[in-house]
Chain A
């Protein structure tokens, strides 16, 4: 278990605003970086540039009426080529688990990452995003899979970083669950 420090990242700058760290988790090329780019900058690109390590972005959202700076840690995907360093997760207030709807095995990968994360940092809020909803015709993740996860009490949202559908909602949903 990685020691869990205060969930608020205290900046050196004298900011009045609270900062919350959240992470994107999921196997490679499910669309983690694309979701962040859509949310933070409102852009999307079809080309795939894999993330190495972590890239941090900042965006102000309102959390139950109060302004909060979200520090979004966009992490590398964990797959057979590269593991995720659990050290990145220290101090995370919440995370989004991203699944690629067109590849069912990315759901299994997300579930195992969730368990690993929980073992490392304990229980913090999270949401599951089934991404690429613009390609629904090619989805392998089925309604039954989604119902299965919902039955565990998980929040499952469908998103498309390409069209933007559900992206804003997903991040604000998580932001509102952060304590």
Chain B
């Protein structure tokens, strides 16, 4: 095949630009230029006189380095480039690829649309990425709301319990006149109704787990904290490996220890996730995060020790407050993580804290009663 003999309009109709390499790195166009090439390079000479496409299609300069091997006859007879995008003078983008080939004595450079149709390829990736962005922000929103909901409900329950106790005392000790007694009973009744509403809100809105203030005390549904630690460290191991951080889990206790605790599976994992992610974030590169599980008879104690800078002593008592880390930009989610851990662990009858005076890293711990 001698490309020079092809009908001049054929190549344009195929939407392929065929360029013949001349001396000095210049090229001349064979046949008529396709529409898109004219859009990208309005100065393109159409009479076959030599020009330098690499000055307009900047990607070509990069491709020439590999194409040289084809044209010098050192490699197999053709080479296809990666795809690239050109913007024309109207702002429209064209996805292109180039092919270097040797036909007889001729060095040829073909420029064309990639074999994968541009619009299809782009729209598939676009759709996939749009969707995954949407999913991400949705999950984030759900997460934020769920945590906020639990915190708010927790905060509502405490004063309500106070009101109830006061009213109850007044009622028990007959502190009010008989006419007032009637109102007291209405008050008590309303407090109970409100507590009921709170519980209902929790069951309705928290789709992923059980209400915060209830937990499983029966053995069958009780979460196994050793299992949960294993699952959560596995989920975080990819992130850890980026920093060169590994997790080590150790258990202390009689051989027949059952690691089942009071609590709810999903929330226990979230507590562990919060604490372990925190440790991962603060530990130095190439270090280890150690998780210890200890059987303390009636309770299980979990401690998480990192090898970071540790928590300054004057910060420890504030760590578990709401919005504790709220330095400037870190409001919202960041400040609720440890607060969530605290109210949840405490609602299950456990304790949580951070050891003071650890020089070689922070050590967070919590205890949970064993499931009976």
User: Which residue numbers of A lie inside 8 Å of B, CB to CB?
Assistant: 5, 9-13, 28-29, 48-56, 58, 71, 77, 79, 81-82, 85, 87-88, 90-91, 103, 108, 111-112, 136-140, 142-145, 148, 152
16 additional contacts, CB 8 Å, given A56-B84, A143-B327?
Answer: A12-B25, A12-B54, A48-B126, A50-B126, A52-B118, A52-B122, A54-B59, A88-B82, A111-B242, A112-B242, A136-B329, A140-B334, A144-B281, A144-B282, A145-B281, A152-B285
Contact B55 A91 (CB under 8 A): no
With A12-B55, A137-B331 known to touch, is A55 a contact of B84 (CB < 8 Å)?
yes
The reply to whether the CB of B333 lies closer than 8 angstroms to some CB of chain A is yes
Contact B285 A85 (CB under 8 A): no
18 A–B pairs (Cβ distance < 8 Å), ordered by A: A11-B54, A28-B129, A29-B129, A48-B126, A49-B126, A52-B95, A52-B118, A52-B121, A53-B95, A54-B59, A54-B84, A55-B87, A77-B129, A88-B82, A139-B329, A140-B333, A143-B327, A143-B330
The reply to whether the CB of B58 lies closer than 8 angstroms to some CB of chain A is yes
CA distance A13 to B187 in the complex (A): 89
B121 → chain A closest CB, angstroms: 6
Chain B residues with CB below 8 A from A108, complex form: 239, 242
Chain B residues with CB below 8 A from A49, complex form: 93, 126
Chain B residues with CB below 8 A from A137, complex form: 329, 331-332
The reply to whether the CB of B316 lies closer than 8 angstroms to some CB of chain A is no
A115 → chain B closest CB, angstroms: 8
A59 → chain B closest CB, angstroms: 12
CA distance A10 to B329 in the complex (A): 45
The reply to whether the CB of B26 lies closer than 8 angstroms to some CB of chain A is yes
Chain A residues with CB below 8 A from B35, complex form: none
A41 → chain B closest CB, angstroms: 10
CA distance A139 to B191 in the complex (A): 40
Contact-residue bracket for chain B: 35 or more
User: Which residue numbers of B lie inside 8 Å of A, CB to CB?
Assistant: 24-26, 52, 54-55, 58-59, 61-62, 65, 82-87, 93, 95, 118, 121-122, 125-126, 128-130, 132-133, 136, 239, 242, 281-282, 285, 325, 327-334
Contact A53 B281 (CB under 8 A): no
Secondary structure dominating the interface of A = loop
Nearest B-chain residue to A111, judged by Cβ: B242
Nearest A-chain residue to B130, judged by Cβ: A48
CA distance A99 to B316 in the complex (A): 31
Contact B55 A11 (CB under 8 A): yes
Chain A residues with CB below 8 A from B83, complex form: 52-54
Contact partner of A79 (CB less than 8 A), chosen from B25, B129, B334, is: B129
Contact B133 A29 (CB under 8 A): yes
Contact partner of B85 (CB less than 8 A), chosen from A29, A53, A142, A152, is: A53
A48 → chain B closest CB, angstroms: 7
B63 → chain A closest CB, angstroms: 10
Chain A residues with CB below 8 A from B136, complex form: 103
**4 smallest beta-carbon distances between A and B, as pairs:** A53-B83, A55-B85, A56-B58, A12-B52
CA distance A55 to B122 in the complex (A): 14
Contact B62 A9 (CB under 8 A): yes
Contact A85 B126 (CB under 8 A): no
Most buried by A among B82, B85, B332, B334: B85
Contact A5 B122 (CB under 8 A): no
With A91-B62, A142-B334, A144-B282 known to touch, is A53 a contact of B128 (CB < 8 Å)?
no
CA distance A77 to B330 in the complex (A): 27
Chain B residues with CB below 8 A from A144, complex form: 281-282
With A108-B239, A137-B331, A139-B329 known to touch, is A56 a contact of B59 (CB < 8 Å)?
yes
